[in-house]
Amino acid sequence: MLTGLRGVGKTVLLREFGRTAEAHGWTHVPTEAAESQRFVESMATLVRKALLRLSAARRAAERARRALGILRSFLVRWNLPDGGELALGFDPIPGFADSGALDDDLAGLFAALGEFAQAHDTGVLFTVDEIQYLSQDELTALIMGLHRVSQDQLPFMIAGAGLPSLPSLAGEARSYAERLFSFPVIDSLPAGEAREALLSPAADEGVHWRPDALERIIDLTHGYPYFLQEFGKQAWDVAAGPDHITVADVEAAVPVAIHELDTGFFRVRIGRTTDAERAYLAAMGSLGPGPYGSGKVAAAMGKATTQVGPHRDALIKRGLCYSPRHGIIDFTVPMFDQFIRRWTA
Ligand SMILES: Nc1ncnc2c1ncn2[C@@H]1O[C@H](COP(=O)(O)OP(=O)(O)OP(=O)(O)O)[C@@H](O)[C@H]1O
Ligand SMILES: [Mg+2]
Q: Would you give per-residue pLDDT tens digits along the chain (345 residues)? A: 999 999 999 999 999 999 999 999 999 999 999 877 788 889 999 998 998 888 876 666 666 778 888 888 888 888 887 765 555 567 788 888 888 889 999 999 999 999 999 998 999 999 999 999 998 889 999 999 999 888 899 999 999 999 998 877 778 888 999 999 999 999 999 999 999 999 999 999 999 999 999 999 999 999 999 999 999 999 999 999 899 999 999 999 999 999 999 999 999 999 889 999 999 999 999 999 999 999 999 999 999 999 999 999 999 988 999 999 999 999 999 999 999 999 988
Per-residue pLDDT at 170: 76
- Atom of ligand 1 at shortest distance to CA of 16? 1
Classify domain 2-186 by CATH architecture. 3-Layer(aba) Sandwich (3.40)
Domain parsing of the chain, residue ranges: 2-186, 191-269, 272-344
Q: Which residue's CA is the nearest one to ligand 1's atom 18?
A: 9
Separation CA 235–CA 244 (nearest Å): 11
Fold of 272-344: Arc Repressor Mutant, subunit A (1.10.10)
Per-residue pLDDT at 58: 60
Which residue among 229, 231, 236, 318 has the greatest number of ligand 1 atoms within 8 angstroms of its CB, and so is best to mutate?
A: 229
- Tell me how far the alpha carbon of residue 163 lies from the centroid of ligand 2, in angstroms: 9
Residues lining ion ligand 2 (Cβ < 5 A) are 10-11
- Atom of ligand 1 at shortest distance to CA of 163? 25
Classify domain 191-269 by CATH architecture. Orthogonal Bundle (1.10)
Closest CA to 331 of 313, 319, 343: 319
Per-residue pLDDT at 62: 64
Q: Which residue's CA is the nearest one to ligand 1's atom 26?
A: 6
What is the CB < 6 Å shell around ligand 1? 4, 6-12, 225-226, 229
Which residue among 1, 12, 236 has the greatest number of ligand 1 atoms within 8 angstroms of its CB, and so is best to mutate?
A: 12
Separation CA 81–CA 98 (nearest Å): 15
- Tell me how far the alpha carbon of residue 18 lies from the centroid of ligand 1, in angstroms: 15
- Atom of ligand 1 at shortest distance to CA of 2? 21
Per-residue pLDDT at 88: 59
Q: What backbone torsions phi and psi does residue 329 show, to the nearest 5 degrees?
A: -135, 150
